[in-house]
């Protein structure tokens, strides 16, 4: 007999999902003017979870107006008082952490281990961190008399729904802005639970407004004349559209876009921990991570040994029910995303790269993709250039540190990179030459509210987190 | 693939150093993180029941006190044979582990009480410090084997290891192994709490395996920290890699600090997800413990009956 883990599902009992969610405007849940709705599903089971209000231009008008009204209260409030509200929100998020974790896992498909240990604690941490800044902004090194933009429109993606909300809302509120936030179409539920938290914290009406919908809803928000700044996280294509729309309007803009991160492994790397770092770099959150280590650049003389270890480790990955506490890799967030991953992976096959996939049993229902890597990939392959946003790794070899840098930087993106070596001087040399906003040394995908995050080139404008992230919400900040 | 462990080094300092240099370094932060992640595995129902019985059968039930007497040793022998006298389906433990002067008592009592298939392990080579001449260590080992020990838990000379005298560490293991011959299995105690770094743990593991260890063991139980999860992780990676090199599977024995069922199950998760299922048997994984057994028995009773019986429903020893 072998040691098979019995099912260990987290109970869904803690979560109450309403059949219909309205828009959160001016501190109240209100029906959209058109009465239109759309549905959100559990990508692991394809079951409908809830109907969600669909916001159109007239609803955005209402939300922006509410945010402008909210601004009158919020911007006049003593900064220390604003901080108190943020602390209160952070504490409530901690108290309701399990509820958030279960709901996020159901709506997104990511494993409960990640929502429980990463998404939700980090979200609360962002509110705690920014709560502390609220009354210390003149000491943040961003100018003597920093002023908020006013009403900020925020559009967030489906890969870390609550965490991206926290990254956006916490600094905006700490700096005295009010927000109209649009969560992603496929993952609105934790944002709407957050709206309930805002009510529970007695946040003044209009400070946070949440409007649900699709791309057209987002476009209406971006183009609304009452918005003073746009903050967007999502694809580079949409980011470019937004940049064009905002150009010349005087609106502030920050963009967190795509990536094709290079995870660089030198011959003297601590190999077992490197394998863990590669796994974490590309299979964390099913690879739905803009800063994923999706290109493995490995020194040619250790490639064979490293890949053997990687294959063995990948055979241990547990794919399946995201609510099971032992699941390592959950469901792909949507059918559309699964199709995109599948199409790009097939291009790897047809362009002559060699595929290895872990032998996972794929559940009958839902959207799934097995952890996969391709060898024999060169810079010319589509899978080396395009963001896959799934659990698919492209392995590229190099011979010298200079070659590693050239290949790592040879991309329109520049969000993240990793360096694996036992040699401190090589870490510093490599980091100095990499064109990436975040560089991890002997680790990967580590996040902290105090650490600024953002990209070079087509990976984005501006930073989120830390002092640099505060500056993105302060007008004329240096 | 090298066919024998002996081919890895000829025992000279240059050769040992050369061999250990081929090993990949260990990143402490990464190893700690991996061990912490594996500690979050949730082991329930049928898998928990299986794990509890497996853990019981892996225990080296240990008493290593200055106050040990014949009576105490006989008592733990009885406990080893029938851990739960109310339930004959409970397996017997992996071995009894005692000081060398208690080996004869333990062997005789086990044989007379229906525990003939339970081996006796003796701690050896001037346990726990290892600070004695090779002659003393030799006599220590020979006495234990003559009295019926079929497992020798020797300590390495940590002072020699830390000062760089790897030849001494290696040659002592080779020599004690030659005394064991085919009469006893050799477990080599690294005392990881004194080696401190994971790089040292990895090096010492390979040194011991190359010198002929059948098992590598974390600790004496007399030094803290003892069998921490990351240390066991590093040692399990070492035996897995050694098997890749030589085709020989070496056992691992964490000892010290494993007191609860939860701790023991975490160890089994580490084994499964690091070295692999092949190591999940008492021939390749042992847990040095004393208090652990009763916690496993209480959890087993809870799974069988649905409620906790409490400390007085398991026998003291």
User: Tell me: the pLDDT tens digits for A227-241?
Assistant: 999 999 999 999 999
Q: Are residues A208 and A231 in the same domain?
A: yes
User: How distant is the alpha carbon of residue A54 from its chain centre?
Assistant: 23
pLDDT at B311: 87
Q: Is residue A429 part of a domain?
A: yes
**Mutual orientation of helices B229-246 and B198-210 as an angle, nearest 10°?**
40
Q: How confident is the model at residue A145 (pLDDT cuts 50, 70, 90)?
A: confident
Q: Which CATH number characterizes residue B165's domain?
A: 3.20.20.70
pLDDT at B4: 57
Alpha carbons B41 and B13: distance in angstroms, whole number: 42
Q: How confident is the model at residue B2 (pLDDT cuts 50, 70, 90)?
A: very low
Question: Which one of A10, A104, A114, A256 is the catalytic residue?
Answer: A256
The string of pLDDT tens digits covering residues B132-141 is 999 999 999 9
Q: Are residues A253 and A284 in the same domain?
A: no
Total domains present in chain B: 1
Spatial contact of A287 and A388, defined as CB atoms under 8 Å apart: yes
**Is A198 noted as a catalytic residue in this protein?**
no
Task: Please say if the pLDDT value at position A476 is more than 90.
Answer: no
Q: Is residue A94 part of a domain?
A: yes
Q: What is the DSSP letter of B238?
A: H
Alpha carbons B140 and A206: distance in angstroms, whole number: 80
Q: Are residues A243 and A294 in the same domain?
A: no
Average pLDDT, chain A: 97
Q: How confident is the model at residue A478 (pLDDT cuts 50, 70, 90)?
A: low
- Chain A positions touching B277 (Cβ under 8 A) are 2-3
Q: Which CATH number characterizes residue A205's domain?
A: 3.40.605.10
Q: Is residue A271 part of a domain?
A: yes
Percent of all residues in chain B with a pLDDT value above 70, rounded to a whole number: 98
A2 to chain B: closest CA residue: B277
Task: Please say if the pLDDT value at position B270 is more than 70.
Answer: yes
Q: Are residues A248 and A282 in the same domain?
A: no
Spatial contact of B215 and B177, defined as CB atoms under 8 Å apart: no
Helices assigned H by DSSP within chain B: 13-21, 28-38, 45-58, 70-81, 103-112, 134-146, 158-163, 166-180, 192-195, 198-210, 229-246, 261-274, 292-305
Please give the structure tokens belonging to residue A253. 């803009």
Sort strands A392-398 and A372-375 into parallel, antiparallel or unpaired: parallel
pLDDT at B35: 98
Q: Which residues of B are catalytic?
A: 153, 217, 253
Averaged pLDDT, A97-115: 98
Q: Is residue A467 part of a domain?
A: yes
Within 8 A by CB and 6+ apart from B240, the residues are: B274, B275, B276
User: Which candidate in A115, A268, A273 is best for mutational testing of the B interface (most B CBs within 10 A)?
Assistant: A273
Average pLDDT, chain B: 96
The string of pLDDT tens digits covering residues A440-468 is 999 999 999 999 999 999 999 999 999 99
- SS3 category, B75: helix
Alpha carbons B37 and B40: distance in angstroms, whole number: 5
Task: Please say if the pLDDT value at position B1 is more than 60.
Answer: no
Task: Please say if the pLDDT value at position B6 is more than 90.
Answer: no
* Domain range for B223: 5-313
Q: Are residues A270 and A161 in the same domain?
A: no
- Chain A positions touching B25 (Cβ under 8 A) are 268, 270, 422
Nearest Cα neighbor of A317 from A360, A265, A372 is: A360
**Is A256 noted as a catalytic residue in this protein?**
yes
The string of pLDDT tens digits covering residues A34-84 is 999 999 999 999 999 999 999 999 999 999 999 999 999 999 999 999 999
Q: Are residues A267 and A312 in the same domain?
A: yes
Q: Which CATH number characterizes residue A370's domain?
A: 3.40.309.10
Task: Please say if the pLDDT value at position B3 is more than 60.
Answer: no
- Chain A positions touching B27 (Cβ under 8 A) are 270, 273-274, 422, 442
Q: Do B47 and A3 touch (CB under 8 A)?
A: yes
**Mutual orientation of helices A79-95 and A120-133 as an angle, nearest 10°?**
170
Q: Do B31 and A5 touch (CB under 8 A)?
A: no
* Domain range for A297: 262-441
Q: Is residue A249 part of a domain?
A: yes
Size of interface A-B (CB pairs under 8 A): 69
- For residue B96, what is the enclosing H or E element? strand B95-99
Q: Do A270 and B26 touch (CB under 8 A)?
A: yes
Spatial contact of A100 and A162, defined as CB atoms under 8 Å apart: yes
Q: Are residues A124 and A194 in the same domain?
A: yes
Spatial contact of B198 and B33, defined as CB atoms under 8 Å apart: no
Q: Are residues A351 and A381 in the same domain?
A: yes
Q: Is residue A329 part of a domain?
A: yes
- The pTM (predicted TM-score) of the whole model is 0.96
Question: What is the ipTM metric for this complex?
Answer: 0.94
Q: Is residue A325 part of a domain?
A: yes
Averaged pLDDT, A466-472: 95
Task: Please say if the pLDDT value at position B18 is more than 90.
Answer: yes
Q: Are residues A112 and A243 in the same domain?
A: yes
In B253-272, the residues whose Cβ lies within 8 Å of chain A are 268, 272
The string of pLDDT tens digits covering residues B65-114 is 999 999 999 999 999 999 999 999 999 999 999 999 999 999 999 999 99
- Chain B positions touching A3 (Cβ under 8 A) are 47, 50-51, 54, 268, 272, 277, 280
Q: Is residue A6 part of a domain?
A: no
Averaged pLDDT, A293-308: 98
pLDDT at A39: 98
Nearest Cα neighbor of A5 from B137, B40, B135 is: B40
Q: Are residues A324 and A433 in the same domain?
A: yes
pLDDT at B309: 84
The string of pLDDT tens digits covering residues B166-206 is 999 999 999 999 999 999 999 999 999 999 999 999 999 99
Q: Do B54 and A3 touch (CB under 8 A)?
A: yes
Q: Are residues A279 and A158 in the same domain?
A: no
Q: Do A277 and B54 touch (CB under 8 A)?
A: no
Q: How confident is the model at residue A1 (pLDDT cuts 50, 70, 90)?
A: low
Q: Are residues A389 and A308 in the same domain?
A: yes
The string of pLDDT tens digits covering residues B150-163 is 999 999 999 999 99
């Amino acid at each position: 007999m072998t040691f098979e883990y019995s099912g260990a599902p987290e109970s869904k009992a803690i979560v109450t999902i309403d059949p219909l969610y309205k828009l959160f405007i001016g501190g109240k849940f209100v029906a959209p003017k058109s009465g239109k709705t759309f549905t959100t599903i559990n990508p692991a089971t394809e079951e409908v979870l809830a109907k969600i209000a669909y916001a159109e231009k007239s609803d955005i008008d209402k939300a922006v107006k509410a945010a402008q009204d909210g601004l009158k209260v919020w911007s006049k409030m003593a900064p220390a008082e604003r901080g108190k509200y943020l602390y209160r929100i952070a504490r409530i998020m901690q108290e309701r952490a399990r509820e958030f974790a279960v709901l996020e896992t159901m709506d997104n498909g990511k494993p409960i281990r990640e929502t429980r240990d990463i998404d939700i604690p980090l979200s609360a941490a962002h509110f705690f961190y920014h709560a502390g800044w609220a009354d210390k902004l003149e000491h943040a090194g961003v100018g003597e008399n920093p002023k908020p933009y006013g009403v900020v429109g925020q559009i967030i993606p489906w890969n870390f729904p609550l965490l991206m909300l926290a990254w956006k809302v916490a600094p905006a509120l700490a700096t005295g802005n009010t927000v109209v936030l649009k969560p992603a179409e496929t993952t609105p539920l934790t944002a709407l639970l957050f709206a309930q938290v805002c009510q529970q914290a007695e946040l003044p009406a209009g400070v946070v407004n949440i409007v649900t919908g699709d791309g057209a809803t987002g476009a209406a928000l971006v183009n609304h004349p009452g918005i003073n700044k746009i903050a967007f996280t999502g694809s580079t294509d949409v980011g470019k559209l937004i940049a064009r729309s905002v150009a010349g309007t005087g609106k502030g803009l920050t963009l967190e876009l795509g990536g094709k991160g290079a995870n660089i492994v030198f011959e003297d790397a601590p190999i077992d921990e490197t394998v863990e770092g590669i796994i974490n770099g590309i299979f964390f959150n099913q690879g739905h991570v803009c800063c994923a280590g999706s290109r493995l650049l490995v020194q040619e003389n250790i490639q064979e040994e490293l890949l053997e270890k990687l294959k063995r480790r990948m055979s241990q990955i547990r794919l399946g029910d995201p609510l099971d506490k032992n699941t390592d890799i959950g469901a792909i967030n949507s059918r559309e995303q699964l199709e995109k991953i599948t199409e790009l992976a097939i291009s790897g096959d047809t362009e002559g790269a060699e595929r290895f996939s872990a032998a996972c049993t794929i559940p009958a229902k839902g959207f799934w993709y097995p952890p996969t890597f391709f060898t024999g990939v060169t810079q010319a392959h589509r899978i080396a250039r395009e963001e896959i946003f799934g659990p698919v790794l492209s392995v590229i070899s190099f011979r010298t540190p200079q070659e590693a840098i050239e290949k790592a930087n040879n991309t329109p993106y520049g969000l993240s990179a990793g360096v694996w070596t036992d040699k401190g001087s090589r870490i510093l040399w490599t980091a100095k030459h990499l064109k990436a906003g975040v560089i991890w040394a002997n680790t990967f995908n580590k996040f902290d509210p105090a650490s600024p995050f953002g990209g070079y080139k087509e990976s984005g404008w501006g930073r989120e987190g830390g002092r640099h992230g505060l500056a993105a919400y302060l007008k004329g900040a240096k | 693939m090298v066919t024998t462990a002996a081919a890895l080094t000829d025992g000279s300092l240059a050769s040992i150093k050369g061999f250990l240099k081929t090993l990949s370094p260990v990143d402490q932060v990464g190893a700690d993180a991996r061990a912490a992640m594996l500690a979050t595995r949730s082991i329930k129902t049928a898998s928990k029941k299986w794990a509890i019985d497996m853990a019981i059968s892996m225990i080296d039930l240990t008493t290593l006190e200055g106050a040990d007497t014949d009576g105490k040793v006989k008592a733990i022998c009885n406990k080893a044979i029938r851990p739960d006298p109310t339930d004959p389906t409970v397996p017997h433990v992996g071995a009894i582990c005692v000081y060398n002067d208690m080996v004869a008592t333990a062997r005789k009592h086990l044989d007379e009480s229906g525990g003939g298939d339970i081996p006796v392990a003796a701690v050896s080579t001037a346990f726990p410090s290892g600070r004695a001449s090779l002659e003393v260590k030799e006599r220590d080992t020979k006495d234990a084997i003559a009295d019926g020990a079929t497992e020798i838990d020797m300590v390495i000379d940590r002072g020699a290891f830390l000062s760089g005298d790897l030849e001494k560490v290696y040659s002592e293991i080779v020599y004690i192994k030659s005394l064991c011959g085919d009469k006893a299995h050799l477990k080599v105690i690294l005392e990881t709490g004194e080696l401190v770094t994971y790089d040292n743990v990895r090096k010492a593991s390979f040194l011991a395996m190359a010198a002929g260890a059948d098992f590598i063991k974390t600790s004496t139980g007399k030094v803290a920290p003892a069998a921490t999860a990351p240390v066991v992780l590093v040692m399990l990676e070492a035996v897995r890699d050694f098997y890749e090199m030589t085709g020989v599977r070496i056992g691992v024995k964490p000892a010290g600090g494993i007191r609860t069922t939860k701790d023991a199950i975490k160890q089994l998760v580490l084994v499964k997800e690091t070295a692999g299922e092949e190591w999940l048997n008492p021939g390749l994984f042992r847990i040095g413990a004393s208090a652990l057994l009763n916690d496993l028995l209480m959890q087993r009773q809870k799974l069988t009956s649905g409620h906790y019986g409490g400390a007085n429903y398991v026998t003291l020893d």
